[in-house]
Chains A and B, each alone.
Chain A
């Protein structure tokens, strides 16, 4: 009695099954190709499980359950001499087999590919197989159960998504920490010894519970529950469900009392005096307690002044981690998943440490924190880069002079490569990527400075408060209440970004006329070239050629691989190779790889590092 049903299922779904298996096979090949850049072919196993295992489970549940009950053909099965439990069991096991067989074949292929590249010991293989099997069974059991809920299946899936969001935001338990997803975590392909025993057991128990729930639902009240659930939603139900979801979404929006993360704390450091924003500077070699305390006070004072200027209620805890090992011009901000605050790192105490730049960087990060990172979105990012610089330099004539010079150099570089300033401000992240931090910050400062001069104290203050003074809500309402930059500028009486850029360009040209001799020319042409090594593997060669007889100064090559969706590239994430002559980068690149390359060299006139020839391109 089992065989006819199995045959019927396979025959009914064979077209879709074959199509899905082909998709899985193509997906696996793509994953295996991508895994060459991810350290191990075993990475493809994780992708196969999470992407294609999940998709296949959903498709199978839809075919084996939703279609059967939705089409009421289970009534036909029930009239045959066969038990209802038998029908469900056969369906569950057949669809599980349809999921496991291609996954097992995929796993086998991955092992064959991986055998020549990583060491495959039996324990590691077993571990991978066990994690995959338990995960797949869980996903299958979940999809099967949800499929049985008929017209409420979308509601359940949405409820699961909502649960994930709530767990992430309110309970600090992101879904990737849930036992089933722990089994296929990013570390899975590299965990050769440690078995996630607890996650395996919990996921297994969850699977068993789902199977029990499946049979209870399918057999309860002689199968009438599941038949009732399979009926289409009435208009009234649709209205109720929609209203319920809108209500839940609205409640989630309104619930602001999310569990606050603990403030970041430095174990060993000095703290700014009370009455000022809390700034801690960690103790580090080469930075005396007095110097650290002085830096903390200057930063705290600056933050307090900005707070009063912008009418900000609350500032985050700021922690400074001096780090002599990084470039003196490089400032870093930490990503804090489990605590709250702004943690910045810089070469405090180093010879060429730019404290003014560091303070501006820190203020910028504080403002970004206050805006819940909305200030760093591209349309308004130039204002976030420029405003802190403007604050720091407003009482420092030497700084302003230097920044004016840098901004003139920035405009010169832009005009030689991209044309006007208007597109540069509209596509600020690209502009900044091409100019580098030094010239990018200077140009942003100049635009802010121009705004403050042309608007006057009061209106500029109004604009700054509109931009940075209000802390948006941490939910969808922030999207709804956010005003475009042009609108904010116009509210303050300023021209729109396009008109502002034209006027600024004229102003910089006028200033530059008097100091043309001070703006350093960049008489070098930068060239990157992909040269095939073997097959489709390329090496990248770099060269800086002088226009005249003067040899180029020592330079650094910055490069990194980029994905199609990569946004801002930070200096910290780029590789660096120092060079004094043409050479080859110490890495190989497959055909079609997207890369970012640039050359950086120090300019004594501008007292910072300039970036030349920056671009993203495809190796071929």
Chain B
């Protein structure tokens, strides 16, 4: 499967602070990729690099088949983006926003936009300032999908939504993705959401990728074990306390060797990554 984008050792600094410290990711075309991390881990920075809003200080980005140091307008037109808090012009309604945004995209499909608005239950005649948070997120999704992008980037689109609105948004996202087969890369710190939506996930911590793979692979890689002493067995990595990470095959070997390992929920696994005692060099 070809990659929608590849990030390799990407570095980004805010002054002296390294927001991304050698981040590497591979997102394949047509997949839904969940990007998990705590607040400040580097999720939004990664998405902004992909949108060309920021430029990396180091590393390389291959986006939609082109290696780029800055994202050109021609590539930007192939990307749909929904930000964490969509900053729409408050005086515009959905129809006016569609007219405005659409004029920047040669591939803009006005009929599709209206269909999306209907499907997502977004009123066309109400000003953006009057819309609820959930409806604004749906409006952002419609605006991002109407140009029929090859890649859809969602930056914590459900942050701040109530559980019902979040569920509605996610359901419709799944329907639309299945309809089109668009590559979706979304960031979140909600484990349940990622588990439900993502084919593959990446966990970022302190600007570095700590895990990349399927949810099943993640579940099989991290377990809790009680060790007699502090010595960490070869091939294991201590995430936090008695939680260790290892190749699933190693866990099988360890089990057959008499080591009692307890499987963890995805939530606990994420917490273990997020609260790792120390990062590997």
Residues of chain A whose beta carbon lies under 8 Å from any beta carbon of chain B: 1, 3-4, 8, 12, 71-76, 78-83, 222-224
Complex partner residue of B89 from A76, A79, A224, CB under 8 angstroms? A76
Instruction: List the A side residues contacting B83 at CB < 8 Å.
Output: 75-76, 79
Contact assessment for A72 and B73 in the assembled complex, using a CB-CB cutoff below 8 Å: no
A3-B103, A4-B100, A4-B103 as given contacts; A81 in contact with B76, CB under 8 Å: yes
Q: A74-B87, A75-B87, A76-B83 are in contact. List 6 more A-B contacts (CB 8 A).
A: A4-B104, A12-B89, A73-B87, A78-B51, A79-B51, A222-B53
Contact assessment for B73 and A83 in the assembled complex, using a CB-CB cutoff below 8 Å: yes
Task: State the majority secondary structure of interface residues on B.
Answer: loop
Contact assessment for B73 and A82 in the assembled complex, using a CB-CB cutoff below 8 Å: yes
Instruction: List the B side residues contacting A1 at CB < 8 Å.
Output: 73, 103-104
The answer to whether B248 has its CB under 8 Å from any CB of chain A is: no
Task: State the majority secondary structure of interface residues on A.
Answer: helix
Q: How far is the CA of A223 from the CA of B53 in the complex (A)?
A: 9
The answer to whether B167 has its CB under 8 Å from any CB of chain A is: no
Instruction: List the A side residues contacting B86 at CB < 8 Å.
Output: 76
The 3 A-B residue pairs with the shortest CB-CB distance in the complex, in nearest-first order: A4-B103, A81-B76, A76-B87
A4-B103, A71-B90, A73-B88 as given contacts; A81 in contact with B77, CB under 8 Å: yes
Contact assessment for B104 and A81 in the assembled complex, using a CB-CB cutoff below 8 Å: yes
Complex partner residue of A81 from B54, B73, B88, B90, CB under 8 angstroms? B73
Write the chain B residue with the least CB distance to A80. Answer: B104
Instruction: List the A side residues contacting B51 at CB < 8 Å.
Output: 78-79
Contact assessment for B104 and A71 in the assembled complex, using a CB-CB cutoff below 8 Å: no
The answer to whether B5 has its CB under 8 Å from any CB of chain A is: no
Chain B, 65-118, CB within 8 A of any chain A CB: 73-74, 76-77, 81, 83, 86-91, 100-101, 103-105
Instruction: List the A side residues contacting B104 at CB < 8 Å.
Output: 1, 4, 80-82
Q: How far is the CA of A83 from the CA of B104 in the complex (A)?
A: 12
Contact assessment for B87 and A80 in the assembled complex, using a CB-CB cutoff below 8 Å: no
CB contacts between A and B, total, < 8 Å = 49
Q: How far is the CA of A79 from the CA of B87 in the complex (A)?
A: 10
A79-B83, A82-B73, A224-B14 as given contacts; A8 in contact with B90, CB under 8 Å: no
Instruction: List the A side residues contacting B74 at CB < 8 Å.
Output: 81
The answer to whether B200 has its CB under 8 Å from any CB of chain A is: no
Q: How far is the CA of A361 from the CA of B224 in the complex (A)?
A: 102
B230 to chain A, nearest CB (A): 44
Q: How far is the CA of A79 from the CA of B48 in the complex (A)?
A: 9
What would 13 A/B residue contacts be, using CB atoms closer than 8 Å? Answer: A4-B104, A75-B83, A75-B87, A76-B87, A76-B88, A76-B89, A79-B53, A81-B73, A81-B76, A81-B77, A81-B104, A83-B73, A223-B53
B260 to chain A, nearest CB (A): 50
Contact assessment for B100 and A8 in the assembled complex, using a CB-CB cutoff below 8 Å: yes
Contact assessment for B55 and A222 in the assembled complex, using a CB-CB cutoff below 8 Å: yes
Instruction: List the B side residues contacting A82 at CB < 8 Å.
Output: 73, 104
Q: How far is the CA of A270 from the CA of B31 in the complex (A)?
A: 101
Q: How far is the CA of A72 from the CA of B87 in the complex (A)?
A: 6
Q: How far is the CA of A3 from the CA of B100 in the complex (A)?
A: 10
Q: How far is the CA of A608 from the CA of B199 in the complex (A)?
A: 107
A83 to chain B, nearest CB (A): 7
Write the chain A residue with the least CB distance to B155. Answer: A79
Q: How far is the CA of A71 from the CA of B101 in the complex (A)?
A: 18
A218 to chain B, nearest CB (A): 14
Q: How far is the CA of A469 from the CA of B103 in the complex (A)?
A: 76
Write the chain B residue with the least CB distance to A78. Answer: B53
Instruction: List the A side residues contacting B54 at CB < 8 Å.
Output: 222
Instruction: List the B side residues contacting A71 at CB < 8 Å.
Output: 87, 90
A14 to chain B, nearest CB (A): 11
Complex partner residue of A79 from B55, B73, B81, CB under 8 angstroms? B81
Q: How far is the CA of A71 from the CA of B91 in the complex (A)?
A: 12
B161 to chain A, nearest CB (A): 19
Q: How far is the CA of A224 from the CA of B14 in the complex (A)?
A: 9
Instruction: List the B side residues contacting A81 at CB < 8 Å.
Output: 73-74, 76-77, 104-105
Q: How far is the CA of A74 from the CA of B89 in the complex (A)?
A: 9
B82 to chain A, nearest CB (A): 9
Q: How far is the CA of A143 from the CA of B214 in the complex (A)?
A: 54
**A-contact bits for B214-245, CB 8 A (1 contact / 0 none):** 00000000000000000000000000000000
Write the chain A residue with the least CB distance to B89. Answer: A73
Instruction: List the B side residues contacting A79 at CB < 8 Å.
Output: 51, 53, 81, 83
Write the chain B residue with the least CB distance to A222. Answer: B54
Instruction: List the A side residues contacting B90 at CB < 8 Å.
Output: 71
Q: How far is the CA of A12 from the CA of B87 in the complex (A)?
A: 15
Q: How far is the CA of A72 from the CA of B76 in the complex (A)?
A: 20
Write the chain B residue with the least CB distance to A81. Answer: B76
**A-contact bits for B112-139, CB 8 A (1 contact / 0 none):** 0000000000000000000000000000
Chain B, 119-171, CB within 8 A of any chain A CB: none
Write the chain B residue with the least CB distance to A77. Answer: B87
